[in-house]
């Protein structure tokens, strides 16, 4: 279609519209539409005030709950479509008008909007719902008024050659709509497959994450290929873009690609996995999520530390739960020389053994490690199996019990005491440091 054809079509449309606007029955139909709109708005407000959609749909399956919610939210549009359809039927039946075209168009547009909103009720993203609803309603409106083919031809008449590809506004719209629908379907299918993979007990957490990432990537690539093929676009035209992407990877995207490849390696070799307790540099915590670019480490104090995957491959990583979930905890303490070291060791072992969070598969052990200048130094070691409790919490619990036991058994812990003696009421000052045992 050339520009002259478009201009002539627009002129013909304007002439027919002018003739239609000159008819008094046009204004009669407009008045009926306005009255129907006012009645529908009042009825919808009355229903919203008297009917609670949540209580009305309680106990129904999820699809029926969504249906009830959408119908209640679009009650005004439904009432408007019914009123205009009834008014047109009465007018045509009594032969006041032959067709009632304006009333029929208004009823069809309202019905199309309700159907579209029902169809998009399963989409949770409000922006996507609005975009899809408006786009579908515009297409439906053009089809109802009989101008869809003319608009499509006009959009297809404007083109930009891009190699062997002819890019038109119609092609861009088709690809955008088709790709949006395809990605939405891919998201639903991906969530379903992810739930099935996550529930599998035969797969380790790292393998589950790897399969989920690869599955989502494969679905997105397949959706893109299907949409491009359905739109009649030869995928070979993207060869130039793949070359540009390769150059970009060589310069600006090195870190992104390195982190992506490192993430795949980490998921494949199972060196770290979700739930592991790790120490990376100065950061310690439990791995809460593994993504294609980084891992998330929960520090235990509300922080989430995001560490690039490349750091886990190239740096030293301490995985406290790589082979098992057990951790050795050490408690260092000291007593004065008046205490019997055998009694101190037995008392410390008994306290550790009686602590609920201390593992029982290996007995606690207490060693006398040093005869220091002012005290005897001991090291109490025990194992913690439930790392969710926290090694620091168990260490603190054991030390508090040790303190209570030392008070009860009259075992003294050495601490320094400083005495300052001033002779003659003036300087020099003699400082004597004593250790109170």
Q: Is the pLDDT of residue 405 over 50?
A: yes
Average pLDDT over residues 264-271: 77
Quote the CA–CA distance of 168 and 159 in Å, as a whole number.
4
pLDDT digits (tens, 9 = 90+) for 55-112: 766 767 766 777 777 777 778 888 888 888 888 777 777 766 666 677 778 888 888 8
Q: So what's the pLDDT on residue 240?
A: 58
- Alpha carbon distance, N-terminus to C-terminus of the chain: 104
Contact 430, 421 (CB under 8 A): yes
Q: Which of 21, 116, 114, 36 is nearest to 75 (CA)?
A: 114
Instruction: Give residue 284's pLDDT.
Output: 81
Average pLDDT, the chain: 77
With CA atoms as reference, report the closest residue to 355 among 312, 320, 405, 309.
405
Residue 42 has pLDDT above 90, yes or no: no
pLDDT for residue 249 is more than 80: no
User: Mean pLDDT across the stretch 16-26?
Assistant: 59
pLDDT confidence of residue 2 = 47
Whole-angstrom Cα Rg for the chain: 38
pLDDT single digits (tens) 280-316: 888 888 888 887 788 888 887 778 888 888 888 888 8
Q: pLDDT of 370-379, one tens digit each? A: 998 888 999 9
**Share of residues in the chain with pLDDT > 70 (%):** 76
Omega into 428 within 30° of 0, i.e. cis? Answer: yes
Give all domains of the chain, ordered by start, each with its CATH number: 3-157 (no CATH), 166-252 (no CATH), 272-319 (2.30.30.60), 327-417 (3.30.70.100)
With H, G, I as helix, E, B as strand and everything else as coil, classify residue 430. Answer: strand
The confidence band for 1, taking pLDDT boundaries of 50, 70 and 90, is: very low
Confidence of residue 178 (pLDDT cuts 50, 70, 90): confident
């Amino acid at each position: 279609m050339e520009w002259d054809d478009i201009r002539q079509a627009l002129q013909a449309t304007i002439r027919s519209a002018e003739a239609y606007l000159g008819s008094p029955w046009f204004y009669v139909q407009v008045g009926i539409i306005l009255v129907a709109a006012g009645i529908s708005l009042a009825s919808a407000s009355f229903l919203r005030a008297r009917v609670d959609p949540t209580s009305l749909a309680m106990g129904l399956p999820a699809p029926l709950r969504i249906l009830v919610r959408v119908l209640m939210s679009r009650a005004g549009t439904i009432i408007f479509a019914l009123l205009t359809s009834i008014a047109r039927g009465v007018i045509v039946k009594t032969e006041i008008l032959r067709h009632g075209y304006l009333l029929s168009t208004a009823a069809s547009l309202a019905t199309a909007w309700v159907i579209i909103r029902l169809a998009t009720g399963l989409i949770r993203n409000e922006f996507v719902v609005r975009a899809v609803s408006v786009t579908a309603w515009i297409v439906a409106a053009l089809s109802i008024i009989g101008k869809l083919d003319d608009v499509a031809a006009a959009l297809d008449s404007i083109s930009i050659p891009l190699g062997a590809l002819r890019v038109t506004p119609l092609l861009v719209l088709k690809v955008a709509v088709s790709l949006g629908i395809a990605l939405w379907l891919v998201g639903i299918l991906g969530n379903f497959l992810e739930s099935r993979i996550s529930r599998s007990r035969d797969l380790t957490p790292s393998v589950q994450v790897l399969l989920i990432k690869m599955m989502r990537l494969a679905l997105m690539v397949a959706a893109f290929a299907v949409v491009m093929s359905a739109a009649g676009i030869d995928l070979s035209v993207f060869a130039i873009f793949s070359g540009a992407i390769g150059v970009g990877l060589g310069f600006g995207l090195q870190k992104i690609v390195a982190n992506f490849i490192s993430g795949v390696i980490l998921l494949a070799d199972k060196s770290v996995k979700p739930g592991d307790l790790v120490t990376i540099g100065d950061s310690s915590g439990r791995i809460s999520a593994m993504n294609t670019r980084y891992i998330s480490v929960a520090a235990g104090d509300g922080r989430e530390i995001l560490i690039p995957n490349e750091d886990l491959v190239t740096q030293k990583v301490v995985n406290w739960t790589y082979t098992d979930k057990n951790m050795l905890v050490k408690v260092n303490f000291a007593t004065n020389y008046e205490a019997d070291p055998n009694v101190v060791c037995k008392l410390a072992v008994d306290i550790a053994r009686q602590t609920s969070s201390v593992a029982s598969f290996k007995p606690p052990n207490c060693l006398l490690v040093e005869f220091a200048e002012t005290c005897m130094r001991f090291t109490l070691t025990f194992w913690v199996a439930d790392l969710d409790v926290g090694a620091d919490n168990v260490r603190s619990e054991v030390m508090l019990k040790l303190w209570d036991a030392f008070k009860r058994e009259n075992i003294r812990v050495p601490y320094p005491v400083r005495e300052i003696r001033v002779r003659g009421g003036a300087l020099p000052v003699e400082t004597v440091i004593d250790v109170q045992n």
